[in-house]
Structure 1
Amino acid sequence: MDAKQMFDPNVKLHDSITASRSGRDEEEPKFFVGQKVKLLEDIVNDGTYPHAKIGTLMMQKGSIGYIKDMGEFLQVIRVYEVHFFGADMDLEIIGCREHELESMEDDFKSEDDLEREAMKEHREKMSKL
């Protein structure tokens, strides 16, 4: 395949060689598994998805999805695996950066938060025995 077909020189790529923890990511994760989120900008293939040309629109701004998982790219960039149910695109699950997402649930509680609350209630109950 011709290199011109796979690479658009006008598409700016992330410099993964010199990447350090992005200034855009919070120190602790901002979103949690199961949380409803909205895309703040169009997501285009930056080269990390091998089955589409670089620069291909992957998901449109304003799409609503749910955090399916969270991981790191090159051990420095937090990436959220987001499932956009019924999206009018070729893909439903894509990786998103923290700054590309906005929470749709102000009162969302992570599993850790729920576990802490349950343990606190349990300790209070047991201290009254």
Structure 2
Amino acid sequence: MAVDHKQIVDANTFLHDSVTANRSGRDEEVAKFGIGQKVQLLEDIKNDGTYPHAPIGAIMVQKGAIGYIKSIGEFLQVIRVYEVHFLDVNALIEVVGCREHELLAMEDYRDEVQEELEFMKKHREKYYSK
């Protein structure tokens, strides 16, 4: 049987891991939340082994906790991760990475930088049109 070296993976092979899946089937192309937006946690965040000061499986932040988006990043360039600062005093940690399906927006996002740029543009037009 001849081996086709051009085909590395069988096209019919089902990939089970979210890293090789297209954005793991959960993220939109555009970020759902913005920096500074208030969000609520929809499920418990448990230690998956990446936090060294608690046993694996320990609840880090409980479902229902309220927090604010600090930054938006990507893991392996395919999985969007939101750095969220939670204000829950009972949480094991304050800042944790969350996926979109773990969060619910508690307010509409306002792009304050864009609002400021629009204000400045209108001000300049008014000032220079005289």
Give TM-score scaled by structure 2 length: 0.72
Shift of 1:35: 0.8
For 2:122, the equivalent position in structure 1 comes to: 121
- The one-letter code matched in structure 1 to 2:37 is Q
For 2:102, the equivalent position in structure 1 comes to: 100
Q: Number of aligned pairs?
A: 115
1:26 is paired with a residue of what secondary structure? Answer: coil
Provide the C-alpha distance between the structure 1 equivalents of 2:51 and 2:17, rounded to a whole number of angstroms. 16
Identity between Structure 1 and Structure 2 (%) = 66
Provide the C-alpha distance between the structure 2 equivalents of 1:88 and 1:121, rounded to a whole number of angstroms. 46
For 2:5, the equivalent position in structure 1 comes to: none
- The one-letter code matched in structure 2 to 1:118 is F
Matched, 1:84 2:66: no
Larger Rg: 2
Q: Deviations over 1:26-63 (max 9, x none)?
A: 11111111111001111122334344333221211110
Superposed CA RMSD: 2.4
Check conservation: 1:45, 1:54, Cα contact below 8 A.
yes
Give TM-score scaled by structure 1 length: 0.73
**CA distance 1:118–1:22, change in 2 (3 Å):** farther
**CA distance 1:94–1:77, change in 2 (3 Å):** same
Provide the C-alpha distance between the structure 2 equivalents of 1:124 and 1:15, rounded to a whole number of angstroms. 53
- The one-letter code matched in structure 1 to 2:126 is K
**CA distance 1:105–1:91, change in 2 (3 Å):** same
For 2:20, the equivalent position in structure 1 comes to: 18
